Amino acid sequence: MTKVKAQINLLRTLEELDLILKDMASPAYKKIGFKSPKPTLDFVKTAEKERAHIADQVEPILLQKYERIMKRYGGRVVVQVINGFCGGCFIKLPSEYITRSSTDITNCPNCGRFLYWVK
């Protein structure tokens, strides 16, 4: 696996963990039908520990960008390029961004989200 793919996969995993932790902290968590009124403390601690472990593996500059984008949008930080469009803001991307997103870590010129391309 290339370094670019490895970093994108780490960012995607980090995003999933952040969204799980955010959902579990929400008061709506109990209202949507989960039997347990609060997530178990052990699960939350394990998820937070795993998040910290993954964050340590991400390049510091990418982690800074990730945190900034997560704070701004609250989710969907790493998005797929779909038919030449950003999966986050749905603008048509210039062809150079599409080409670069398959070989380099690229951000959308409009929303700033990380882009990845699936062949």
CATH number at residue 68: 1.10.287.1490
Number of structural domains found in the chain: 1
Distances (CA, A) of 101 to 4, 109, 114: 9, 12, 9
Closest CA to 106 of 1, 19, 17, 11: 11
Is-contact 98 117, C-beta < 8 A? yes
- Enclosing domain of residue 47: 3-116
What span, in angstroms and rounded, lies between the C-alpha atoms of 119 and 106?
16
- Per-residue pLDDT in tens (0 to 9) along the chain, 119 residues: 588 889 999 999 999 999 888 887 777 766 776 665 556 777 888 889 999 999 999 999 999 999 999 999 988 999 999 999 999 999 999 988 877 777 788 999 999 999 988 77
Say which residue the tokens 């999933």 belong to: 16
79 φψ region: left (φ > 0), alpha (ψ -120 to 50), beta (else): beta
pTM over 0.75: yes
